[in-house]
A and B are shown apart, each in its own frame.
Chain A
Amino acid sequence: MSTLVNRRARFTPYMLLIPATAVLLVVIGWPLIQLFIISFQEFGRAQVFGAPAPFIGFENYTKVLGDPAFWNVMVRSILFCLVNVVVTMVGGTLIALLMTKVNRFFRLLLSVGLLLAWAMPALTATIVWGWMFDTSYGVVNYALTNFFGLDFHAHSWLINPLSFFFVATVIVVWGAIPFVAFTVYAGLTQIPDEVMEAAQLDGARSTQRFRLIVFPYLKSIFLVVTILQVIWDLRVFTQIYALQGIGGIREQTSTLGVYIYQVALGSGEYGIGGAIAVITVFFMMAISLYYVRQSLKEEQL
């Protein structure tokens, strides 16, 4: 009797996983297979409307890998991603630490502010930020010129690629910090007070306490959040795409997500766009696998 219950209990989790797996296979797996097939085909706008799509082997891939524009985009995306992940993680963690220190009222105020920033759709946020940084009528130029005496009259924030990515970073980080802050704050509340108290009595300074106690406790949380941030920031689309519509030079500001869109949907080169997307998928999988393996290794120690 008991073995039967055990066996049933053993299978229950897998039974419950079936619907999720099935949906994932249909919603993500099938398009992924399609993408993979298209990346080996000559697939333009005529093929979308039913013309036959011939297989052309690795031609799309050699075209992409031989195109300096692709490598520029790749390097740009990685740099943008690194800066954003670092700023987001540091900012988010600092806000989480702040939330443990302030009283209930301010904690609530902070939470509400973070939630509102988080709830704002990326497109809406980008357009509003775009207005603030507007060349002719933006509040940022107005404030810098009138309150700080700097000459920012009709200053274009987006025309210089570095300045463009500064604005993009502000928007992306602003939108991503709430997730990091809430997750890290949730982790911080789990650290036993006794341990922190003991460390304090032993004379550990606050930086030492963070480095030697808080960080090891929250290591797995930091790992997961960082991987998620890397993936999100590497494939960032909405903010860059909307900003490019407001100003700036596309060729100098495209990141991977936007570049795939421009090649595939903008120029009607679905095959080549597919190849870039497949390369991106493998690149992101490699990053994730590396981190997962690192964390597994450490768990075994």
Chain B
Amino acid sequence: MRKLSFVALAAAAAITLAGCAGGGTKTPAADDGPADIRVWLVGTDTPQDARDYLKTTFEKENPGSTLTIEEQSWTGLVDKLTTSLSGSDSPDVVEVGNTQAAAFTSSGAFLDLTDQYKALGGDDLLPGFVEAGSYDGKFYAAPLYSGSRLVFYKKDALAASGLTVPTTLAQYISNAEKLAADNPGKSGLWWPGQDWYNALPFIWENGGEIATFKDGTWASQFSSAGSIKGLEQVQELMTKASTAPKDGNETNPQVGFCEGTTLQLSAPSWVKWSILAAADAETPGCPDQESNLGVYALPGADGGAGQVFAGGSNIAVSAKSAHPGLAVKALKIILSDGFQTIYGKNGLVPAKVSLASTLGTDEVAKAISSAAGNARLTPASPKWADVEASGALTDFFVQIAQGGDIPSLAKALDAKIDGILNG
């Protein structure tokens, strides 16, 4: 009797399982009839206005078809895209980080858009991002937007310490340390250990590189003399000027700023809107700080704008999209002047050079354009995305923030990155 009930249970379980498994199948529809186009946007960078504009314009131009925007998170994006773009239920249009694009353009995940290049904007498109979205002479992923990294600061704190906006990297470092010394328990520069993007300018400004390509092999350069010098400055700032968690990540920088424990922070330009978000928003900000919020571009070692990391996104059509015709139409709307102007108005650099003026003329806009003029990218290897996803860089900077020995850590990191880039 006992045996029989167990068997019955197993049969019941099997039927339930079978029921679950049957749900997900979908028959591919014929191309370009009325259909639903799924667009994956990543993070909250794209403003709601732009999302609404995309949906209404697309549905007006393509009667009967609908467009759904699905928001993805930046964490784990590369694996998520790998699994979903190769599956039968692929989204049609996807945003991807500019440093991640090469992993997909090189593996055939994206639809070849070479014949659409002119129609999408041609030579007006941001050149560095077109390069990031191209592989083997073909164009796969269009620029979406670019966001420079800026330094946000509290005007009253800077004034109270008798400091002015720094004009050289050395002054930037001494300013941050003075602020921290004058305000015990607060961050003269808020810098959580996992935030490696902000460390890159220090490496570049001291003559270092991330990795160089010679005779068909990549050589990671974190242990080169220039890089070490930059990393020493990074460690000095992380340990002396920052009270941020040594192993924390850079999400929600507005919390400390609004609370008053962060006096300066370096972040993408759109963080301004996180700081100034309404106090009762889902992720609240502190709009009352608007007049106290100052912004400047990171200065270089010899004055002028520093070489910052050019963050941003590309956008592409999945090679497995069931409706490539409609997907390309949606892509055209995304790259239209109307859509891109919304980015400009919200402090993101539009995908087209000719729309740079939409950024306006305020302090942020000036800082953005001077930062963008000197922005640089990560190594142009299809495997660079794997370096980022492996977590080696965040591990490295967490250990730097803890006060670890730079030369030996840098050497170990170089070996790891060489292994991935040349693997």
Interface residues of A (CB under 8 A from B): 12-13, 16-17, 19-24, 26-27, 44-46, 48-51, 135-136, 154, 156, 158-159, 244-252, 261-262, 265-269
Picked from A23, A245, A250, the residue with its CB within 8 Å of the CB of B75 is A245
Picked from A17, A50, A156, the residue with its CB within 8 Å of the CB of B247 is A156
Known: A27-B21, A159-B246. A45 touches B107 (CB 8 A): yes
**Nearest A-chain residue to B389, judged by Cβ:** A266
Do A267 and B14 touch across chains, with their CB atoms under 8 A apart? Answer: no
**Nearest B-chain residue to A46, judged by Cβ:** B107
| Distance A135 CA – B249 CA, assembled complex (angstroms) | 11
A147–chain B nearest beta-carbon distance, Å: 20
Do B398 and A45 touch across chains, with their CB atoms under 8 A apart? Answer: no
CB proximity to A under 8 Å, residues B236-293: 243-249, 256
CB proximity to A under 8 Å, residues B379-423: 383, 385-386, 389-392, 394-395, 398-399, 402, 420, 423
Do B11 and A16 touch across chains, with their CB atoms under 8 A apart? Answer: yes
| Distance A22 CA – B11 CA, assembled complex (angstroms) | 11
B103 sits at the interface (CB 8 A)? yes
| Distance A49 CA – B395 CA, assembled complex (angstroms) | 30
**Nearest B-chain residue to A154, judged by Cβ:** B243
Interface size, B (range): 35 or more
Stretch from B79-87, B220-228, B300-308, B360-368 that touches the partner: B79-87
Picked from A154, A159, A268, the residue with its CB within 8 Å of the CB of B82 is A268
A41–chain B nearest beta-carbon distance, Å: 15
Picked from A27, A135, A136, A250, the residue with its CB within 8 Å of the CB of B391 is A250
A225–chain B nearest beta-carbon distance, Å: 18
Do A249 and B395 touch across chains, with their CB atoms under 8 A apart? Answer: yes
Stretch from B2-10, B23-31, B202-210, B333-341 that touches the partner: B2-10
CB proximity to A under 8 Å, residues B31-46: none
**Nearest B-chain residue to A272, judged by Cβ:** B423
Do A49 and B319 touch across chains, with their CB atoms under 8 A apart? Answer: yes
B213–chain A nearest beta-carbon distance, Å: 19
| B79: chain A residues within 8 A (beta carbon) | 261, 265-266
Do B386 and A22 touch across chains, with their CB atoms under 8 A apart? Answer: no
Picked from A136, A156, A249, the residue with its CB within 8 Å of the CB of B256 is A136
| A247: chain B residues within 8 A (beta carbon) | 194, 245, 247-249, 398
Do B83 and A265 touch across chains, with their CB atoms under 8 A apart? Answer: yes
| Distance A24 CA – B21 CA, assembled complex (angstroms) | 11
B108 sits at the interface (CB 8 A)? yes
Instruction: Give me 9 A-to-B residue pairs in the complex whose CB atoms sit less than 8 angstroms apart, sorted by A's number.
Output: A12-B4, A44-B107, A48-B86, A136-B244, A244-B391, A250-B391, A251-B392, A265-B83, A268-B82
Do B395 and A156 touch across chains, with their CB atoms under 8 A apart? Answer: no
CB proximity to A under 8 Å, residues B214-238: none
B15 sits at the interface (CB 8 A)? yes
Known: A13-B3, A49-B86, A156-B247. A22 touches B14 (CB 8 A): yes
| Distance A56 CA – B386 CA, assembled complex (angstroms) | 22
Known: A49-B109, A51-B108, A249-B399. A17 touches B248 (CB 8 A): no
Beyond the given pairs A45-B104, A247-B249, 17 more chain A to chain B contacts, judged by CB atoms under 8 angstroms and listed by A's residue number, are: A12-B4, A13-B4, A13-B7, A19-B15, A20-B13, A27-B17, A45-B82, A156-B246, A156-B247, A158-B247, A244-B391, A250-B395, A261-B79, A266-B389, A266-B390, A267-B420, A268-B383
B181 sits at the interface (CB 8 A)? no
| Distance A266 CA – B390 CA, assembled complex (angstroms) | 6
| B14: chain A residues within 8 A (beta carbon) | 19-24
Picked from B83, B107, B394, the residue with its CB within 8 Å of the CB of A250 is B394
B167 sits at the interface (CB 8 A)? no
Do B11 and A51 touch across chains, with their CB atoms under 8 A apart? Answer: no
Do A50 and B108 touch across chains, with their CB atoms under 8 A apart? Answer: yes
Please provide the 7 A-B residue pairs with the shortest distance between their CB atoms, ordered closest to farther. Answer: A20-B14, A135-B245, A265-B79, A247-B247, A19-B14, A250-B391, A266-B389
B106 sits at the interface (CB 8 A)? yes
Do A17 and B10 touch across chains, with their CB atoms under 8 A apart? Answer: yes
**Nearest B-chain residue to A159, judged by Cβ:** B247
**Nearest B-chain residue to A263, judged by Cβ:** B390
| B385: chain A residues within 8 A (beta carbon) | 268
| A24: chain B residues within 8 A (beta carbon) | 14
Picked from B107, B243, B246, the residue with its CB within 8 Å of the CB of A48 is B107
B423–chain A nearest beta-carbon distance, Å: 7
B61-98 contact mask (Cβ, 8 Å, vs A): 1 or 0: 00000000000000100110011011000000000000
Do A248 and B86 touch across chains, with their CB atoms under 8 A apart? Answer: no
